Homo-oligomer: A and B are copies of this chain.
Amino acid sequence: MSQVTTTDLYEVTMALSYLREDMRGRAAFSLFVRDLPPGRGFLVAAGLEPALDYLSRFRVGRSDVQDFADTLRRPVGDLEPLHGLSFDGEVRAVPEGRIVLAGEPLLEVTAPLPQAQLVETYLLSLLCHQTAVASKAARCVLAAAGRPLVDFSLRRTHGPEAGGQAARLCALVGFAGTSNVAAARRYGIAAAGTMAHAYVEAFGSEERAFRAFARTHPGPVALLVDTYDTDRGVATAARVFKDLRLGPGCGIRLDSGDLGALARRARTVLDGAGLEEVRIIASGGLDEYGVDRLVREGAPIDAYAVGTKVGTAADAPYLDMAYKLVEYDGRPVMKLSSAKATAPGPKQVFRGPGFRDVVGLAHEDPPGDAEPLLRTVMRGGLRTEPPDTPAAARERFERDLAALPEEARRIERPVPPVPAVSPRLTALTTLVRHRIETRTGAGRTAAG
């Protein structure tokens, strides 16, 4: 499907109207998350790289115009003003991997109104999902406290494409690998995997299955030990490792039951067989809560595979993310409607030490030694710098994570830092609100 037509119909009807009404002035839209979901002390900005690819390629072609016309049941000539429209605006954004908070713009678009409007839906569809998944995965990294994590989510993500992104985002926050072969190739991630219960069942005996697997795959192997009875499976694996003189780099995988207790017993058996180097990998319905419990109880688990709950960000599968007009043709604008009021004007986030963030206007001077988070990443529709690298994004994430206050890092009941609003932004908000209320009469209803 065309990326151009993968949009909400109203973007098209509005863009057409802007063109017909000659409203081609520069518009600034701000993309941000209104509130963090419960259970999140921070968000990890993600989705920018695919978003810039999308904007770079955006162009309304002949067949898109035809599709719009057919959808609206109007003559194709009526939609002609949209033909050839591409994105030639400016984008300021927080690079992937940086930690962001509620109310902080992740991305701002400044472009002629029709094009800035047309790209809304697709941008949100990329950034909302990817920021949600990266933020969940980041909490697994905290919970694992240095132990390697592997992404096993592909089979239950929202389709294969979402699975590819989940692998990318897990790697971005520091996962050691993914089970997803295509994503591993595409994003340069290590691929990892063991075997399924089906493999053991097809051979009908764990021992035959383990020996066959080792024959096919010389070198380190990981054996799944819980198909029938885990303790016996561990003993069988230990015997096969010993017989075949395997050990370093090998592992066993526990996928069900009381993972902590099973791991302790497995460790004893393996150590007793002189297999101190065989690692124990745990999987099965884990996310940061499960990993945290196992780590805190001291389970001798060397690596964690997390899947479904992380790849779907199951406890917060969406974010309250919006793309709001904040300025049109030099005039700051805002929405007043109940509980969803937005602050006017293009913005910047100034990060002080210890996450003392201030959201201010784009052209304010940074207060003191604060660091501005949004950078100009696209100008005239072209990237201003070469595509970001996963390593750079991961480094940014690790630096931000290290600086994050303890209460935001907590697994249970985290408390996110709350950014301050600069005096100049506060003043502008008051001014614009007053202007709108005077002009529209809004506010008076509530006031009396």
Contacts and interface: CB of A to CB of B under 8 A. Distances in A.
Nearest to A332: B201
Nearest to A328: B202
Interface stretch (A9-17, A242-250, A293-301, A352-360): A9-17
Given A17-B199, A159-B165, A314-B317, A186 B335 contact: no
Contacts of A110: none
A442 interface: yes
B227 A336 contact: yes
B257 A338 contact: yes
A206 interface: yes
A337 B436 CA distance: 65
Nearest to A200: B335
Given A162-B161, A185-B67, A201-B328, A120 B16 contact: no
Interface string A1-31: 1110111111111101110110100010100
Given A126-B159, A160-B6, A196-B14, A181 B68 contact: yes
A129 interface: yes
B443 A185 contact: no
Interface in A293-348: 308-309, 312-314, 317-319, 321, 324-325, 328, 331, 333-340
A218 to B, nearest CB: 9
Contacts of A204: 328, 331, 333, 439
B21 A194 contact: no
Given A9-B191, A181-B68, A231-B445, A321 B156 contact: yes
B229 A13 contact: no
A245 to B, nearest CB: 20
Contacts of A175: none
Interface residues of A, number: 119
Interface stretch (A91-99, A209-217, A376-384, A403-411): A209-217
A45 interface: no
A330 B276 CA distance: 40
Given A159-B126, A308-B318, A317-B158, A181 B7 contact: yes
Nearest to A284: B340
Contacts of A156: 124-125, 128-129, 318-319, 321
A157 B335 contact: no
9 contacts: A1-B164, A9-B184, A10-B194, A72-B191, A124-B155, A125-B154, A201-B325, A205-B439, A229-B446
Interface of A: 1-3, 5-14, 16-18, 20-21, 23, 27, 29, 67-68, 70-72, 113, 117, 120-122, 124-126, 128-130, 133, 152, 154-165, 179-186, 191-199, 201-206, 212-213, 215-217, 226-232, 255-257, 308-309, 312-314, 317-319, 321, 324-325, 328, 331, 333-340, 436, 439-446
